[in-house]
Amino acid sequence: MIGLNQKEINKYVIFSFVAVFLLSCFYKRTPTKLNLDFNNSLILPGESHFRNMSQLTFSGENAEAYFSADGKRLIYQAHDGDSLCDQIYTMDIESGSVELVSTGDGVTTCSFFKYPNDNGIIYSSTHVDNPDCPPKPDFSRGYIWKLYPGFDIFEAGLGGSNPHPLTSSPGYDAEATYSFDGDKIIYTSLVSGDLDLWYMNPDGSGKQQLTNRLGYDGGAFYNYDASKIVWRAYYPETEKEIAGYKSLLAENSIRPMALQIWTMNADGSNKNQITDNGAANFGPYFYPDGHKIIFSSNMHDPRGRDFDLYSINVDGTTLERITYFEGFDGFPMFSPNGKYLVFASNRNQNKRGDTNLFICEWK
């Protein structure tokens, strides 16, 4: 997705103007207990909601990890070594065993399990348009995200078998997630000429547009009962901002400056801005009870380099800082039973640039 692959996250440290980017009650009645090795020295002072933390990956750039419906597996994007392009992997959380589930071609992003039965996966990929790893954006014009036109959304078997496209528009289609009842897929598309949120049925039919304001809408998730949606947005307002946005969009690019968190009803009505802080806010996710949102932001860092997790009420009140690591913490997701939180972080790096996955009990 435009969803902040890990090379891009590292670029945030270089550019001071950085901007980044579960189920129904049935599942909450069947909690999963994970047997993990803990390293509680990774929990920093002030991180009072964390208990029994485990590190799940130990090298490379790993991010956007999301739980399976049974709470036992993760799906995420990663790359390591010489490769510059993310591919999609699944992990058995207890054993740590990892499986490549994308094709290995092109670049991929924004994966998710097919809810509510874990009978497949979805992800975005450029492999049909071009099997080569695409070139990275030119950062001489500042930090930008590249909207590769070859990105389409694919579904596949649980192990990655038989991938086939759910979208086929000539522009960017990515950032797809399931509603937890399995009824809808929400995603970001350029098919309208702008970066809007759409939903479709699990088979790719019934595509409907949810947003239509000039600007970027993306990174959306449903709440547990699929009645609400939370997402990140950037809306240019001044003539200069609008001209700059349109100019980059014509080049299949975007420069995200002040992403804010918004919510709306599942049908697109009742749109509400939740944050208004001039910072970069991204990766929003509903608490299991639906009353709060957890997200990542650099609001506390005047240089814009340090991202931590925060929570906020759905009405925009009662902001709370969750993490205190001097680096990157982002992409949080609660397990279906609400017992665990998984997130990506630069903490405990083996080498500069590593971003790894961490899981902890939530209290």
Q: For position 32, what pLDDT does the model report?
A: 60
Residues of the chain with pLDDT under 70: 1-32, 82, 139, 141
Backbone phi and psi for residue 167, each to the nearest 5 degrees, phi listed first: -130, 155
| Residue 291 located in a structural domain | yes
Q: For position 305, what pLDDT does the model report?
A: 84
Q: For position 9, what pLDDT does the model report?
A: 47
Note the pLDDT tens digit of each residue in 71-105. 999 999 999 876 779 999 999 999 999 999 999 99
Count the domains in the chain.
1
SS (H, E, C) 288-340: CCCCEEEEEECCCCCCCCCEEEEEEECCCCCCEECCCCCCEEEEEEECCCCCE
Q: For position 256, what pLDDT does the model report?
A: 73
| Residue 1 located in a structural domain | no
| Residue 43 located in a structural domain | yes
Rounded to 5°, the CA angle 168-173-174 comes to: 135
| Residue 343 located in a structural domain | yes
Q: For position 35, what pLDDT does the model report?
A: 77
Which CATH number goes with the domain that contains 21?
Answer: 2.120.10.30
Note the pLDDT tens digit of each residue in 28-40. 434 467 778 888 9
Q: For position 82, what pLDDT does the model report?
A: 64
Containing domain of residue 291, as a range?
6-362
What span, in angstroms and rounded, lies between the C-alpha atoms of 263 and 219?
Answer: 12
Q: For position 51, what pLDDT does the model report?
A: 96
Q: What percent of the chain lies above the pLDDT cut of 90? A: 80
| Residue 257 located in a structural domain | yes
Note the pLDDT tens digit of each residue in 6-50. 444 444 433 333 333 333 333 343 446 777 888 899 999 999 999
Give the count of beta carbons closer than 10 Å to the beta carbon of residue 261: 26
Q: For position 135, what pLDDT does the model report?
A: 83
